[in-house]
A and B are shown apart, each in its own frame.
Chain A
Amino acid sequence: MVLLGFLTVTVLSVVFLRDLFAIVMLFGIYSFLAAALFVTLDAVDVAFTEAAVGAGISTFLLLATLALTARREKTLPDRPLLPLLVIGIVAAALVYGTLDMPHFSDPHAPAHSRTAPYYIESTATEIGVPNIVTAVLASYRGYDTLGELIVIFTAGIGVIALIGYRKRDRDT
């Protein structure tokens, strides 16, 4: 609960701040808090990823982006009502969509009553790997992980295509 409170405070200060550098730093803190939260939920793999990717690399990449752009956020001259309306409708639709989902940590949810027990029972005999997360990620859900890898690859290509390397004339 304490961690959740800290998370909320961080998010609120991100929303109200205008200094982008401070916001990037707060995002790093947010990722660390989220990682700590995942550890308390016994999801060490997720926590590890959050700490490495969220607090590490993405903070750095955001800082690099800041170095290319401005440090202060532009303030809009007027109050945009239409975007607010659109966001409100979309948020309402999303919340409505979650109403059909099983409750948080409901032991009778399909994910907890079918797939999760199957993975827990059969990983030891079928895969023989102690870390079930790795077994699910790389073997049972191999297609998904392949998709994720291709997403990262495509993102890299996209960044290179957009920003590009400078021409090699200055190379030593």
Chain B
Amino acid sequence: MYTPIQPFNLVLRIAAKMLIPLILMFALYVQFHGEYGPGGGFQAGVIFAAAFILYALVFGMAAARAVATETVLRVLAALGVLLYCGVGLAAVFAGGNFLDYNVLARDGVSGQHLGIMLVEFGIGITVASVMIMIFYAFAERGVTR
């Protein structure tokens, strides 16, 4: 199991505690502000995962696994892809083409807004959980050899 680098390094722990909420907030900002500024699901997912990895590095894998287990991550990774495809299929059932967001709401523009937001959210979920999953896999491997 991945033990913390220095379990009693006070500076590191407090700095991480201060940084992690900011990183998470920034990830959410990038996620939901992607239509207006630079950013989007991919970047947000990676930033979110980075905050999580920082937490696991400083506080140890056991603490990280208390937040999200491998099973949860696996389900979330699939859920993001499912959300994306689901938006596409919802457009089909609403009478449009696959991933044609125009039909999702009453007028085309708000349908596009809704579709883009949901799709980006799906991207964010999958990217973040896959990154954390890969980190878990590496971290678990690294110790007993």
A interacts with B: yes
Question: Chain A: residues with CB nearer than 8 A to chain B?
Answer: 44-45, 47-49, 52-53, 56-57, 60-61, 64-65, 67-68, 125-131, 133-135, 137-139, 142-143, 145-146, 148-150, 152-153, 155-156, 159-160, 163-166, 170-172
Partner of A146, one of B40, B84, B110: B84
**Alpha-carbon distance between A172 and B61 when the two chains are bound, in angstroms:** 11
List, in ascending order, chain B residues with CB within 8 A of A126's CB.
108-109, 112
Contacts of A152 in B (CB 8 A): 126-127, 130
Whether a CB of chain A sits under 8 angstroms from the CB of B59 is no
Judge whether A139 and B115 touch: CB under 8 Å.
yes
Bound complex: CA A146 to CA B120 (Å) = 10
CA distance A130 to B70 in the complex (A): 37
Q: Nearest Cβ distance between residue A122 and chain B, in whole angstroms?
A: 11
Q: Of B81, B133, B135, B144, which contacts A150 at CB under 8 A?
A: B81
SS class, residues of chain B in contact with chain A: helix
What is the interface of chain B, defined by CB distance below 8 A to chain A?
Answer: 1, 30, 34-40, 42-43, 46-47, 49-50, 53, 62, 65, 70, 74, 77-78, 80-81, 84-85, 88, 98-99, 101, 108-110, 112-113, 115-116, 119-120, 122-123, 126-127, 129-131, 133-142, 144-145
Q: Min CB distance, A138 to chain B, in Å?
A: 4
Would you list the 5 A-B pairs with minimal beta carbon distance, nearest first?
A: A156-B130, A64-B138, A142-B99, A128-B109, A44-B38
Contact B140 A153 (CB under 8 A): no
Q: Is the CB of A131 within 8 A of B35?
A: yes
